[in-house]
Chains A and B, each alone.
Chain A
Amino acid sequence: MEILTLAAKIGAYALMTGVLLFALGVVALRNLFHSALCLAAALIGIAGLYLFFRADFLAAVQILLYVGAVMTVIIFAIMLTEHLSGKTTIQHNRQSLPAFLGIAALVTVIAKVILQTPWPVTQKALGAHTSVEGIGTALMTVYVFPFEVISVVLIAALIGAVIIAKRENPS
C-alpha cells in the first residue's frame, strides 16, 4: 500500500510545482487573456491541493466561487477593455528589478523563519476528517456573526459595483 502513498506524495509535489508554474505564467505572460487563463489553471490546481488536504468542501467552493464566478468577471472585464486586434503592448513597468530584489530578500527571511520554528503538529488534528456538516454547524453557531457581516459586505459591494459601472443611459 505504501506505493499508493508514495504516488500520492509525488502527486502533491507535482501539483505544487504545477501551480507555481501557472502562477509564474500569470505574472510573466504579455497577453492578458493568457495570464487570466493561467490564473484559472492555478486556482484549479490549488483546489486539487485542498482535495489532497482532504478539505473537499473548500475545494468545491474554491472551484465554484473562484473559477466559476471571479474568473468570469475578470474575463468579462478583459473582453470589454481590450479591443479585438489584441496588439500586446509592454506589460511591465520599470520597477521590475528593484521589486524582484526586495521580494527575494523578503522570501529568504521568511523561509529561514519557517524552517527553524518547530511547528506543533498534534496527532489528533491529523486524523480528524472535517466533514461538510462540521463546517455547516461551525458557520451557523460559532461564526454566525462574521457570516452575517460577510453578507452585508457582499450586498454593499454589489450595489457599489453596479453604481460605478453603470453607464449614464444615453438620452
Chain B
Amino acid sequence: MTLIPVEHVLIFSLLLFAIGLYGTLTRRNIIGILISIELMLNAANINLVVFAKTTSLSPETGQVFAVFVIAIAAVTVAVGLAIVLALYRSRKTIFADEVHLLKW
C-alpha cells in the first residue's frame, strides 16, 4: 500500500464522486440518475478502504463498513427501479423532467 501516496487515491475518489454528482444532476433518465448515484457510493467505498488500510487501528472496520455500504446500495437500486417500473407502467415515460404532476 505504501506504493501510492494516500493523497493520489483520495483525489481519484474525489473525481469519481464529482463525476457521479454531475451525472445525477444532469441526466434526464431516472435510471441514469440511479447509475450515477452508484458511482458516488463507490467513491465513498474507496475512501473507506483506503483510510482503513493506512490510518485506522483495526484494519477490518473499513471493509466491514464497505460491505454495509454495498448492501445499502443494493437496497436503493432495488427500491428505485421498482418505482421506475411502476412509473413507466402508468406514465409511459421515465424522464425525470416529464414527471412533474406536483409542479404547477
Contacts and interface: CB of A to CB of B under 8 A. Distances in A.
Q: Do A and B come from one complex?
A: yes
Interface of A: 5, 8-9, 12-13, 16, 19-20, 23-24, 26-27, 32, 35-36, 39, 42-43, 46, 49-50, 53-55, 57-58, 61-62, 65-66, 69-70, 73-74, 76-78, 80-81, 89-93, 95-96, 99-100, 103, 106-107, 110-111, 114-115, 119-122, 125-126, 128, 130, 134-135, 138-139, 142-143, 146, 150, 153-154, 157-158, 160-162, 164-165, 167
A19 B42 CA distance: 11
A128 B60 CA distance: 10
A121 B54 contact: yes
Nearest to A106: B18
B11 to A, nearest CB: 6
Interface of B: 1-4, 6-12, 14-16, 18-23, 25-29, 31-32, 34-36, 38-39, 42, 45-46, 49-50, 52-64, 66-68, 70-75, 77-79, 81-86, 88-89, 94-97
26 contacts: A12-B3, A12-B4, A26-B23, A27-B26, A27-B36, A35-B32, A39-B38, A43-B38, A46-B42, A46-B46, A55-B52, A58-B49, A62-B45, A62-B70, A66-B38, A70-B73, A70-B74, A73-B81, A81-B31, A90-B28, A119-B7, A125-B52, A125-B53, A154-B71, A157-B78, A158-B78
A19 B53 contact: no
Contacts of B64: 135, 138-139, 143
Contacts of A157: 74-75, 78-79
B31 A20 contact: no
A91 B32 contact: yes
Contact of B1 (A54, A111, A119): A54
Nearest to B81: A77
A35 to B, nearest CB: 6
B33 to A, nearest CB: 11
Contact of A20 (B16, B21, B67): B16
A164 B83 contact: yes
A161 B28 contact: no
A89 B95 CA distance: 10
Nearest to A97: B26
